[in-house]
Structure 1
Amino acid sequence: MGSPETEMPTLKFTKTAIESARPEKSDYELRDTVVPGFLCKVTPSGRKVFMLSYRTVGGNRRKPAIGQFGELTVEQARSLAQDWQALVRAGGDPSLDKTRARANPTIREFCEQFIEQHSIPHNKPGTVRRNRQNIKNHIIPVLGKIKVADLTRPDVSALMMQLAHTPGAANTTLACLKKMFNCAELWGYRADGTNPCRLIPRYPERKRTRLIKNRELESLFAYLDRADAEGLEHPSFTFGIRLQFAFAARMSEIISMQWEWIDFHERRVVWPDSKTGGISKPLTEEAITLLARVPRREGSRFVCPAIHTHDRHLSHHSYWCAWKRIIEAAGLAHVGTHGIRHRAATDIANSGVPLRVGMALTAHKTVTTFMRYVHIEDDQVRLAAEKVSKRRAAIIKGNNTAKTPTIDEDAVIAGGMLDASAQTEVGFHG
């Protein structure tokens, strides 16, 4: 057994002194005379391990290994011992730091913990699937072997550069990583305020959803009428599209809608859950007419039941395929089902309703998000250009009666020009 610390052999550690120490039947320790607490443990196998003995600020005794003689020289080990003593005097605990570093997971290991402990309990299933996809395809192949505590901002920046050819994937991967490292700080794997994703810029993305123009809207609804009259499409699809326009809704909100959520007396529909949580929207005359006209399938709780299995709602795939067929038949250029929501939001903004009311109709949480859905129509731009041209012509002719134009608040909101100060005034922040 090793001798008590008071009886340890003491000597000035040198290369010759450590080499001359012979193994015994049990471990024993040597104490350096130069640096207090600096030890060398000699094992029966002949291994010689440098250590530091100290007490923490809380009074706990620690004796972590610094390194093995041969891998470290005496002077290197002594220098590390002095550095550790400085940390102890500053209130640190090098032994605990070593334990935490050893237990710190790799990013590959941490990804599964993130999915199980954060993403599944807090995110929608679609977000969980997207997180898994980004982790599998982008994060683990490049960063998987790095310890969570060791990931740096240049590492993240290099990953983003590799994904520069796919800006959408790069941005969703960055968002996933940023949330992961927020959790890493929360769970003690990194120090607070060290998220390596901070300051990494997102890539600009091409605007994906275009506005369904007025003539296209006319053509679309003319085809929906013809499809209903001639049986060209299943009524569940044409009804769903009409209802999506009426509610300025997401596709998922329409196909999942249940009859029990509709209160005809209060003229309101309440979705218990959606992409942004529970939402509530009023029933317009248009919506009431649509809901009263649609045949209700016996035994189905869904407003838009699946074609062959009425106990389930229409699938995303079948609805999307029907939408694609319908817009092609109506002569529209390609636009996703989200184009319905963009068109509805634009109509809401251009109707002159207050901003708060418009956001309630689309169930958007922030002004910034709502304004992303509002498009400036060609006729608005053309009319504005004509007004500017006429005013300039009047000034050139010397007509000093030309009035200084005033800003139309509703027009500014509809045109997507609401600035940060206006956002603050209405109580929303992007």
Structure 2
Amino acid sequence: MPTLKLTKRTLEAAEPKSKPYELRDTEVVGLLCKVSPAGRKTFMLQYRNYEGVKRKPALGLFGDLTVEQARTIAQKWLAEVREGGDPSRTRAERRASVTVREFEEIFYQRWTLVRNKKSTQKLHRYMFEKYISNRVGYCKIDSVSKKEVKKFVDDLSFAPGMAYISLGILSSMFKRAEEWGYRAEDTNPCKGVTTLAKKKRPRLIRQEEMVRLMDYLELPEGEGGGRSAYTLAMRLQFAFAARVSEILQLRWAWVDFERRRVDWPDSKTGPIWKPISKEARTLLQLAASAAGDSPFVIPNPNDPSRPAMYGAYHRAWRKALAVSGIEHVGTHGIRHRAATDIANSGVPLKVGMALTAHRRVEVFMGYVHLEEPMLYDAADQVAESRMAKLEAARCNVTCGLRPVD
């Protein structure tokens, strides 16, 4: 196994292989970094305790710990070993007493608060207190079995959506428990467990429905339409292929007409920017004439110093669908319709992903729907091509020519 001075650069450059391998440090004897086939890099410390038993506990993941932090922990543990201690056993005994409820607080502080948005933090707390804590909270974190997780899911069969979300939270918790040494590696009891509920894609708003919807959104109320701050927000959501939060939280300070772009300092996926199309410019100019001195593009009608309310926006969306005679679809259906239009416009994939602010191809494609008219046209095109080739082959046979591949 390679022996070298561990540094941030060498560990970042370490590529995963078909089998796990170790990189040993020359600075602290016994300190190593294990690289898994999945690319996970774990700091470990190899030593023998006073009984001569070989130990190799994990110290933490590279990324969560820097090389210098890992060296500091390793040196501290080695000093304890020289005094007759066994830090691996001590940690195992301490962690063996941690319940799922107790680990949830550790997970929340070390992971949820650091990695997730406030809405996800609130959801995590709510789901744990409402569904998880009273069912598996008393169990020891290192002893929860797949059987117990399956029972947990079965007990929530009356609320499959809640079971789906809770299972996702538990799976993430147990994954962190493995990484932080509270469970043995590759023992996540949620692996392979499924629920009745699956994340459903919003149905696609059809083109004939879009005609009726836009007729309603574009006309003033006095002319049979529903033009308001909220219907303007819906049109902006279509124009920017945006999430609801990106439109309702949008500030004028982020809009740059001169450079034709809007910069969101934060979003679900971090900082993003999108170009201002001609359609979007017109809509933003309409918003500017109605916003007054509000810092928000779509201000709260009752308090312009605050953004528009989500509840009012969703109520306005439901009304728009009902008046337009359209079967209900959530507001996220706007983003699906916009992404499908982008994909079908012929722009390169990378450009389409930039317009929706998606970072992974598979996520972007999850928003793109197949439309029936396109499938019918494609079927006719394939049939015509096949018949043309067949006729050409018949002609060649009749004329005694060599068939063309």
Q: TM-score, normalised by structure 2?
A: 0.71
Q: 1:264, CA displacement in angstroms? A: 1.1
Secondary structure at the counterpart of residue 216 of structure 2: helix
Change (3 A) 1:59 1:209: same
Q: Is the 8 A contact 2:291 2:298 kept in 1?
A: no
Aligned counterpart for 1:175 among listed residues 168, 178, 201: 168
Superposed CA RMSD in Å reads 2.9
The residue that corresponds to 1:250 in the other structure is: 243
2:300 aligned with 1:306:
yes
SS at match of 1:300: coil
CA shift, 1:195, in A, is 2.4
1:3-402 mapped onto 2 (5 Å cutoff): 57-59=48-50, 96=90, 99-100=93-94, 104-164=97-157, 166-201=159-194, 205=198, 207-227=200-220, 230=223, 233=226, 235-294=228-287, 295-391=289-385, 400=394
The Cα of 1:205 is off from its aligned counterpart by 2.1
| Other structure's SS at 1:281 match | strand
Query: How far does residue 386 in structure 1 lie from its aligned partner after superposition?
Result: 2.3
**Distance in 2 (alpha carbons) for counterparts of 1:121 and 1:170:** 24
Q: Is the CA contact 2:250–2:298 (under 8 Å) kept in the aligned structure 1? A: yes
- Give the conservation status (yes or no) of the 8 Å contact 2:141–2:183: yes
Deviations 1:178-233, CA, capped at 9 Å, x for gaps: 21122223433223333222343465626341111111111111112223564854
Letter in 1 for 2:132: I
User: Aligned-pair distance for 1:271?
Assistant: 0.5
Gaps of at least 5 residues in structure 2 are 1-46, 53-84, 397-405
3-state secondary structure, aligned to 1:324: helix
Distance, in Å, in 2 between the alignment partners of 1:100 and 1:273 is: 39
Q: C-alpha displacement at 1:293, in angstroms?
A: 2.3
* Shift in alpha-carbon separation, 1:93–1:275, aligned structure 2, 3 A: closer
CA distance in 2, matches of 1:107, 1:370: 35
Paired letter, 1:177: L
The letter for the 2-side match of 1:254 is I
Quote the offset at 1:132 in angstroms. 1.9
Query: What is the deviation of 1:348?
Result: 0.3
CA distance in 2, matches of 1:198, 1:323: 38
Which amino acid is the alignment partner of residue 329 of structure 1? V
TM-fit CA distance, 1:94: 9.4
Change (3 A) 1:248 1:138: same
Structure (1 or 2) with the larger CA radius of gyration: 1
In structure 2, relative to structure 1, the CA distance for the partners of 1:327 and 1:97 (3 Å cut) is: closer
Task: In structure 2, give the amino acid aligned to 1:238.
Answer: T
Cα distance, 1:391 vs structure 2:
5.0
CA gap of 1:311–1:231, structure 2 versus 1, over 3 A, is farther
Q: Please list the CA deviations of residues 42-76 of structure 1 after superposition, one character each: whole Å capped at 9, or x if unmatched.
A: xxxxxxxxxxxxxx944499xxxxxxxxxxxxxxx
Aligned CA distance change for structure 1 residues 310 and 95 (closer, same or farther; 3 Å): closer
The answer to whether the 8 Å contact 2:216/2:227 transfers is: no
Question: Does structure 2 retain, via aligned residues, the 8 Å contact 1:239–1:290?
Answer: yes
Q: Counterpart amino acid of 1:125? A: K
Q: In structure 1, the residue corresponding to 2:291 is in which secondary structure? A: coil
Q: Aligned pair in 2 of structure 1 residues 226, 93: CA closer, same or farther (>3 Å)?
A: closer
Deviation at 1:400, TM superposition (A): 4.0
TM-score of the two chains, using structure 1 as the length reference: 0.67
Q: Secondary structure at the match of 2:306?
A: coil
How far apart are the structure 2 equivalents of 1:380 and 1:401?
Answer: 32
Amino acid at match of 1:382: Y
Do the aligned partners of residues 131 and 206 (structure 1) sit closer, same or farther apart at CA in structure 2, a change above 3 Å counting?
closer
> Greater shift after overlay, 263-272 or 392-401?
392-401
Residue 132 of structure 1 aligns to a residue whose secondary structure is helix
Q: Distance in 2 between matches of 1:150 and 1:175?
A: 19
User: How many equivalent pairs are there?
Assistant: 317
Distance 1:222 1:95 in 2: 70
The answer (yes or no) to whether the contact 1:228–1:238 under 8 Å persists in 2 is no
Give the Cα–Cα distance (whole angstroms) in 2 for the partners of residues 95 and 367 of structure 1. Answer: 45
Change (3 A) 1:293 1:161: same
Which secondary structure does the structure 2 equivalent of 1:352 belong to? coil
In the aligned structure 2, how far is the partner of 1:121 from the partner of 1:92?
31
The amino acid that maps onto 1:374 is: V
Q: Is 2:244–2:331's contact at 8 Å kept on the other side of the alignment?
A: yes
Distance 1:384 1:116 in 2: 53
